[in-house]
């Protein structure tokens, strides 16, 4: 939806968010979110600061469907030695190529980061030991040697790795332990849980509520096992799909729930700890919430 507004003389001095709230009839949180997502222009220039003070006769254009401004996509190298590298992956980036000739994956961006540091990016092998969803941001490890790949792979398969996530889920979430058996098709084309004891793979998720938000809850989630989409499925099946969920939202919507608008999945791999595959030393990496996650979180706090 698009809106064209002109600041009246009596509105001069108001903040941009105050004017949007009044003229569009939206909550404070949405008024700020429109600005922070780059969907508001003042006199033709993108205005991301919701506290901007306005002058009379200024022209305000609002386009709720406008895409966010493009940004250079890069990964940060969090920890690295001769055997292992841990990166901080942005949301919207595949961990590894899933299609022939797919570019822009985390592996590609890591090699770009090496090139920027003057390293021989194409000569260092990268071996996959685990993945995080394309829509999920946060910590991702690769092995740089075959010996490290074998040892790390064993750690992940035996669940001897610390993996903690931060997420925002719809509704009021209580501390809980969720266990189920996950199958690739629950009968409607979606991954999900089965009640048949001899089917699927055992999955265990530990959820701790951290902060109550506007219609949602910030949670810390610890994986005891690491199955595909495990956190997203378990919270969705508990009646609390993640904010920004596009796949496991069907049941919530069918029950009359109103999904909170969000441009990204609010799921972030915040900690990754493991025993070094060669030296045996303990490695523990942490990743702060990225800016796009924090922006949405601040809107829900208000």
The 10s digit of each residue's pLDDT in 291-300 is 999 999 999 9
More confident residue, 120 or 256: 256
> Mean pLDDT across the stretch 53-74?
85
Query: What's the topology of domain 2-63?
Result: 3.10.290
Which residues form the catalytic set?
133
DSSP label of 54: P
Q: Which long-range contacts (CB under 8 A, 24 or more apart) does 208-214 make?
A: 208/175, 209/173, 209/174, 209/175, 210/166, 211/301, 212/172, 213/168, 213/297, 213/300, 213/301, 214/29, 214/300, 214/301, 214/302
**Has residue 110 got a pLDDT over 80?**
yes
Share of the chain above pLDDT 90, in %: 81
| Mean pLDDT rounded to a whole number for the chain | 93
The 10s digit of each residue's pLDDT in 256-298 is 999 999 999 999 999 999 999 999 999 999 999 999 999 999 9
Residue in the block written with tokens 């600041």: 7
Q: What is the dihedral of CA 251, 254, 258, 261, to 10 degrees?
A: 60
Positive or negative, the CA dihedral 142, 146, 147, 151 is: positive
Are 294 and 270 a contacting pair, CB within 8 Å?
no
The 10s digit of each residue's pLDDT in 182-196 is 999 998 899 999 998
Find the DSSP H helices in the chain: 16-24, 28-36, 106-116, 146-157, 230-237, 250-254, 291-301
d(CA 173, CA 217): 6
Q: Domain locations in the chain?
A: 2-63, 76-301
> Mean pLDDT across the stretch 137-146?
98
> Mean pLDDT across the stretch 112-132?
90
Are 175 and 207 a contacting pair, CB within 8 Å?
yes
The 10s digit of each residue's pLDDT in 206-219 is 999 999 999 999 99
Find the DSSP H helices in 37-139: 106-116
d(CA 194, CA 180): 7
DSSP label of 210: E
Q: Give pLDDT, residue 97.
A: 84
Q: Give pLDDT, residue 69.
A: 63
d(CA 93, CA 106): 6
And the tokens for 112? 């770009």
And the tokens for 7? 């600041």
B/e letters for 216-237, b = 16+ CB within 10 Å, e = fewer, are bbbbbbbbeebbebbbbbbbbb
Q: Say if 2-63 and 76-301 have the same CATH topology.
A: no
Band of residue 176 on the pLDDT scale cut at 50, 70, 90: very high
pTM of the model as a whole: 0.78
Q: Give pLDDT, residue 190.
A: 93
> Mean pLDDT across the stretch 30-46?
90
> Residues with Cβ < 8 Å from 238, sequence gap 6 or more?
173, 176, 178
> Mean pLDDT across the stretch 239-265?
95
Are 272 and 284 a contacting pair, CB within 8 Å?
yes
Half-sphere exposure of 25 (CA within 13 A, CB side): 0
CATH architecture of 76-301: 2-Layer Sandwich (3.30)
Q: Give pLDDT, residue 73.
A: 82
């Amino acid at each position: 939806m698009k809106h064209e507004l002109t600041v009246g003389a009596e509105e001069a001095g108001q903040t941009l968010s105050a004017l949007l709230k009044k003229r569009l009839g939206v909550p404070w949180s949405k008024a700020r979110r429109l600005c922070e997502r780059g969907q508001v222009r003042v006199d033709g220039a993108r205005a991301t600061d919701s506290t901007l003070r306005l002058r009379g006769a200024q022209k305000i254009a609002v386009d709720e469907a406008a895409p966010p401004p493009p940004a250079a996509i890069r990964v940060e190298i969090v920890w690295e030695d001769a055997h292992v590298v841990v990166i901080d992956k942005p949301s919207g980036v595949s961990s590894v190529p899933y299609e022939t000739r797919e570019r822009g994956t985390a592996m590609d961006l890591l090699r770009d980061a090496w090139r920027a540091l003057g390293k021989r990016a194409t000569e260092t092998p990268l071996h996959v030991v685990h993945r995080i969803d394309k829509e999920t941001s946060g910590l991702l490890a690769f092995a740089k040697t075959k010996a490290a790949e074998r040892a790390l792979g064993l750690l992940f398969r035996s669940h001897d790795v610390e993996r903690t996530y931060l997420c925002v889920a719809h509704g009021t979430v209580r501390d809980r332990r969720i266990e189920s058996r996950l199958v690739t098709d629950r009968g409607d084309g979606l991954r999900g849980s089965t009640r048949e004891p001899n089917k699927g793979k055992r999955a265990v998720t530990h959820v701790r509520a951290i902060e109550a938000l506007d219609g949602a809850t910030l949670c810390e989630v610890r994986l005891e096992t690491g199955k595909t989409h495990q956190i997203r499925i378990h919270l969705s099946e508990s009646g609390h799909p993640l904010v920004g969920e596009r796949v496991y939202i069907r049941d919530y919507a069918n029950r009359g729930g109103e999904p909170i608008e969000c441009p990204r999945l609010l799921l972030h791999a915040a900690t990754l700890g493991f025993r070094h595959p060669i030296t045996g030393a303990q490695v523990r990496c942490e990743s702060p919430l990225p800016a796009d996650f924090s922006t949405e979180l601040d809107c829900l706090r208000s």
